[in-house]
């Protein structure tokens, strides 16, 4: 079911991890950002769009993780974009015969059968430094950064007052660091928060990749909450964040938090740095 969150911007929420697909209405059809997870949900979205007479004219994936680069045949054959670095990362991870089997192992067993992998990751990289998604609709500004995953893009739809945050600024997920592709995973997450803060004054609605939609009053609160979590990790202080406390939305989150702590400690030992 599609839900309008701003003029010409609609959301389709998956049961899996409160994943938000974002639909932006253009002149001849819609831009679809991070289409969804389960095949039946994407088919439902495609059906809703065809009832509205709105074909998908462009797709976009915010970052190269499996839950953001799926597609369903019923959504049609529009070009699907990502940043150059996002597309290169996906291409690299799909480059051998065992790739899809490996990705299937990342998907929770209870839904893996329902996640169609045949059209996974077929995205075209936009040239580096591209400032907006090429399509016939409201300007969608690309804010590229390296938090969470290589070539991650937040998207600012200024004339609609909407920030599509990808996997940052969630009310349910803590910042999940990219501990493989980056030399300074915490700073690589803090820097984008400053970028998003710079855009926040134009934002009335924030749409995280997972979690609930935030209103204007939520933008700064969510940036502050992510930043406080990262500062606590960086300074090896006690984390008091409701997203990994007793009221965590998912019972596996405190464990993910513990693993991040351990991996950061190992990196510090390896690099011989402190603090």
Positions in the binding site for Zn ion (CB under 5 A): 67, 167, 209
Pairing, β 2-6 against β 152-157: unpaired
Task: State the minimum distance, in angstroms, from the CB of residue 63 to Zn ion.
Answer: 7
Q: Measured from the CB atom, is 151 or 209 closer to Zn ion? A: 209
- Determine the 3-state secondary structure of 58 from DSSP: strand
Q: Measured from the CB atom, is 167 or 171 closer to Zn ion? A: 167
Q: Measured from the CB atom, is 34 or 218 closer to Zn ion? A: 34
Task: State the minimum distance, in angstroms, from the CB of residue 272 to Zn ion.
Answer: 33
Task: State the minimum distance, in angstroms, from the CB of residue 248 to Zn ion.
Answer: 17
Contacts of 65 (CB under 8 A, 6+ apart): 149, 167
Give me 181's structure tokens: 């592709």
Q: Measured from the CB atom, is 72 or 152 closer to Zn ion? A: 152
Dist. CA 35–CA 89, nearest whole Å: 19
Q: Measured from the CB atom, is 16 or 81 closer to Zn ion? A: 16
Task: State the minimum distance, in angstroms, from the CB of residue 207 to Zn ion.
Answer: 13
Contacts of 218 (CB under 8 A, 6+ apart): 171, 206
Task: State the minimum distance, in angstroms, from the CB of residue 176 to Zn ion.
Answer: 8
Dist. CA 266–CA 167, nearest whole Å: 24
- The secondary element (H helix, E strand) that includes residue 187 is helix 187-199
The pair phi, psi for residue 83, each rounded to 5°, is: -70, 160
């Amino acid at each position: 079911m599609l839900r309008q969150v701003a003029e010409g911007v609609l959301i389709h929420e998956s049961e899996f991890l409160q994943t938000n697909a974002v639909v932006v209405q253009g002149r001849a059809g819609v831009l679809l950002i991070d289409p969804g997870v389960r095949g039946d949900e994407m088919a439902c979205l495609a059906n809703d769009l065809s009832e509205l007479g709105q074909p998908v004219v462009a797709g976009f994936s915010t970052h190269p993780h499996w839950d953001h680069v799926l597609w369903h045949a019923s959504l049609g054959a529009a070009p699907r974009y990502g940043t150059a670095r996002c597309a290169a990362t996906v291409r690299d991870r799909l480059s051998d015969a065992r790739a899809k089997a490996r990705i299937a192992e990342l998907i929770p067993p209870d839904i893996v059968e329902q996640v169609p992998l045949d059209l996974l990751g077929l995205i075209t990289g936009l040239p580096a430094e591209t400032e907006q998604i090429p399509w016939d609709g409201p300007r969608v500004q690309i804010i590229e950064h390296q938090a969470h995953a290589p070539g991650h893009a937040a998207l600012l739809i200024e004339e609609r007052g909407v920030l599509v945050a990808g996997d940052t600024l969630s009310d349910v997920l803590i910042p999940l660091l990219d501990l493989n592709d980056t030399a300074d995973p915490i700073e690589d997450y803090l820097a984008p928060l400053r970028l998003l803060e710079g855009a926040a004054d134009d934002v009335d609605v924030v749409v995280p990749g997972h979690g609930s939609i935030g209103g204007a009053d939520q933008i700064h609160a969510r940036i502050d909450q992510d930043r406080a979590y990262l500062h606590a990790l960086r300074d090896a202080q006690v984390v008091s964040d409701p997203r990994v406390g007793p009221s965590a939305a998912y019972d596996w989150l405190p464990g993910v938090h513990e693993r991040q702590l351990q991996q950061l400690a190992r990196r510090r030992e390896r690099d011989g740095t402190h603090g």
